[in-house]
Amino acid sequence: MANTNMDLSELLAKHDQGDFLRSLAEAVAQLIMDFERQAIDPVDRS
Contact residues for 34 (Cβ-Cβ < 8 A; gap 6+)? 1, 2
Q: What is the pLDDT of residues 12-44, one digit of tens each?
A: 666 666 677 888 888 899 999 999 988 888 776
pLDDT band of residue 2 (cuts 50, 70, 90) is: low
Per-residue 3-state assignment (H helix, E strand, C coil) for the chain: CCCCCCCHHHHHHHCCCCCHHHHHHHHHHHHHHHHHHHHHCCCCCC
Please check whether residue 23 is in contact with residue 15, taking contact to mean a CB–CB distance below 8 angstroms: yes
